[in-house]
Amino acid sequence: MKNIVILISGGGSNMAAIVKTAKKQDWATRLNAQVAAVISNRAEATGLLWAKKQGIDSASIDHKAFDSREAFDQALMQRIDAYSPSLVVLAGFMRILTPGFVAHYAGRLINIHPSLLPAFAGLHTHQRAIDAGCKFAGATVHQVTAELDVGPILAQAVVPILEADTEANLAARVLTQEHLIYPDTIAKLLTSN
């Protein structure tokens, strides 16, 4: 069985979309795959409760309890490696990972970013796109590299920016596309492995 480990920091809406798609499409039978665990750097992340209710192993490792990023990443790797993951999926995991962590999961570590990369890497992507006068925004699934938001692009979804858009309503429209392209990209990756 191919195991997927999902990392979150908050509500986990992309994680929930992945889990729901996996169940609806019966990834266990069709892809020989399952979401084996959800791990957060925040014990209060509401996505952990949702994952537990779905019967998925869930845990938190508080990044603040470690003296360095490297020490946190090492503890996180130990927890992830217990599941022998075919894929490690960042779904709103709000930590910058060390090069050692990224190298450890090279080719198996993916992220979704709320912009049409390479435009608007980092934070506040929706407001930055509006302020720049862009006509389109969107989301990008990419492989994670040691450099933030520059890994090879695996999929993108485009959303028009409307004249009356605010950061919040643009973010909501982009999120609906994230919920579609992320599970689809994961299924394609699992099929090719």
Tokens describing residue 158:
């485009």
Q: Which amino acid is at 169?
A: N
- Judged against a pLDDT cut of 80, whether residue 149 lies above it is answered with yes
Model confidence pLDDT, tens digit, residues 105-140: 999 999 999 999 999 999 999 999 999 999 999 999
- Judged against a pLDDT cut of 80, whether residue 193 lies above it is answered with no
Q: Which amino acid is at 68?
A: S
Tokens 């080719």 — which residue? 107
3-state secondary structure 18-71: HHHHHHHCCHHHHCCEEEEEEEECCCCCHHHHHHHHCCCEEEECCHHHCCCHHH
Q: What is the pLDDT, as a whole number, of residue 128?
A: 97
What pTM was computed for the model? 0.97
Q: What is the pLDDT, as a whole number, of residue 192?
A: 86
Model confidence pLDDT, tens digit, residues 46-95: 999 999 999 999 999 999 999 999 999 999 999 999 999 999 999 999 99
Please classify residue 83 by burial: count the beta carbons closer than 10 Å to its beta carbon, then call 0-12 exposed, 13-18 middle and 19+ buried.
middle
What are the distances in angstroms from CA 122 to CA 52, 127, 128, 155, 167?
A: 30, 12, 10, 18, 15
Q: What is the pLDDT, as a whole number, of residue 40?
A: 98
Domain boundaries, the chain: 2-192
| Catalytic one of 63, 113, 126, 179 | 113
Q: What is the pLDDT, as a whole number, of residue 145?
A: 96
Which contiguous run of DSSP H or E holds residue 72? helix 69-81
Q: What is the pLDDT, as a whole number, of residue 51?
A: 98
**Class for domain 2-192, per CATH?**
alpha beta
Q: What is the pLDDT, as a whole number, of residue 94?
A: 95
Measured CA to CA, the distance from residue 193 to residue 185 in angstroms comes to 13
What average pLDDT does range 158-184 have in this prediction? 97
Number of helices and strands (H, E) in the chain? 7, 7
In eight-state DSSP terms, residue 113 is E
The overall average pLDDT reported for the chain is 97
Q: What is the pLDDT, as a whole number, of residue 49?
A: 97
Annotated active-site residue 113? The verdict is: yes
